[in-house]
A and B are shown apart, each in its own frame.
Chain A
């Protein structure tokens, strides 16, 4: 018996003879075209890369050479699309990475019948870049709101005084838009400096209700100030 060995990462080295995957004489076996419909197409041996469908199938099979080909062919389009939206080189590179990792992790989400791979990737890039812009706007708005709601230290100059006055005006205007019951607790708590217990006593409501009204009021104020800042951005 002739034996061979092969290295299997999972099982270590094992010994085998040539395998017998089918052990009978196929000389009288049926013609392939009769039971393998795909084989009725003309057989081909051709270069890889001419078809998005082939690239997609290779990606799905875990062929990282296909991923490198995708990068070499499409990465600049992805980068350029992201850069146009973001205007920032580093962020655009992050988008290239996000888009290609997404393609590699979920190649089955791309359907060659629905469009070219280039279109799919640039649309992904645009969506990702716009998401980043939105996320950045929200972050800036949060930062700005936090700054405006935090009592500033003694103003150092005329400019600071103006900013403080503007912030106070903006917040007071927003408070005026709250329902009366919520406006009352906010004014007592934040403009008169009362504790929740004192607010509850002053209004004649349980302390838990006072807290709940304050939470609701602050959520509405956040929303109003966010909108204000986003619209002015």
Chain B
């Protein structure tokens, strides 16, 4: 908008403050419209598991042989996820061996083992493993820390991470086999964007962001919201930058499936700093 579009500032004194205060009494900052029913992290994981299983049920035998990721075909990737569920069961039981285990290496055997099995068996085994996870988390304290594959997170946060992972791999398979991309339901997406936003400062730390930046992150569309975060570190006064982008696109960025350059991003402040922050978001994925 150009300056010429703006109206002359001749409004009565105090009106701006009064109007903004009245508005925020009607709706709090960061609360998206339309809203979505709040769900538990376990429910989000359950929904992601259901969506993943539904896709597996539609795959042909040829689809199961399609290469997807890290040299794995679809069946191998599902085998990898069986391994992840098994490690999660051990983590929930407090097994220290899975706390620092490599996410890829510790599940590689489960992935390779699938090659000689019928796809239906792999699918059924994954479903059983995911159901076992759900059984275990229902009786667990959602605030208890769980250590697994180099992470230590409250169970509720870990379940959102797991929902994130299932949705990401579901879309890996969808793309590889020619199915349209999927978007999580709004309640699940809201949990995913909330977690990714809160973890952004840690991603920036991993990325080695040198200058401190006060970020207003605005994720638009269903499942979006607004977050104020300080990322980076250093003695200087933080610069301020506002980043506006689509909620689903940001989740794909955080899963390292797209780059910042793939997204439509609207920025106020230094575009270079905004680009650095968005690049850091991709560090949320440990590869």
| Chain B positions within 8 Å of A4 at CB level | 201-202, 205
Instruction: Kindly list chain A residues whose C-beta atoms are within 8 Å of the C-beta of B30.
Output: 61-62
The digit string for A29-54, where 1 denotes a CB below 8 A from any CB of B, is 11011111111010111111110001
Main secondary structure of the interface of B (DSSP, over half): mixed
- Could you tell me if B176 and A62 are in contact, using CB atoms closer than 8 angstroms? no
Neighbour of A23 across the interface among B165, B174, B195, B265, CB < 8 A: B165
Q: Produce 1/0 per residue, A54-92, CB < 8 A to B.
A: 100111111111111001111111010000000001000
From A107, which residue of chain B is reached at the shortest CB distance?
A: B33
| Interface residues on chain B, size class | 35 or more
Q: Which 4 A-B pairs have the closest CB atoms?
A: A76-B7, A35-B175, A22-B255, A57-B220
Whether A101 contacts B244 by the Cβ 8 Å rule is no
Please state if B153 and A32 are interface contacts (CB–CB under 8 Å): no
Cβ–Cβ contact A38 & B151, under 8 A = no
Query: In the complex the two chains form, what is the Cα distance from A106 to B32 in whole Å?
Result: 10
Assess whether B23 is in contact with A39, with CB atoms less than 8 Å apart.
no
Q: Mark B227-266, 1 if CB is under 8 A from A, else 0.
A: 0000000000000001010100101101111111111111
Closest residue to A10 on the B side, CB-wise?
Answer: B194
Nearest A residue to B278 via CB reads A45
Contact between chains at B201 and A32 (CB < 8 Å): no
**Chain A residue nearest in CB terms to B261:** A43
20 A–B contact pairs at CB < 8 A? A4-B205, A14-B157, A17-B151, A19-B202, A20-B149, A21-B164, A21-B195, A22-B165, A28-B67, A30-B176, A43-B264, A45-B271, A47-B268, A57-B220, A60-B220, A64-B226, A72-B6, A76-B10, A101-B19, A101-B23
CB of B20 within 8 A of CB of A108, answer: no
Q: Which residues of B contact A105 (CB under 8 A)?
A: 23, 26-27, 33
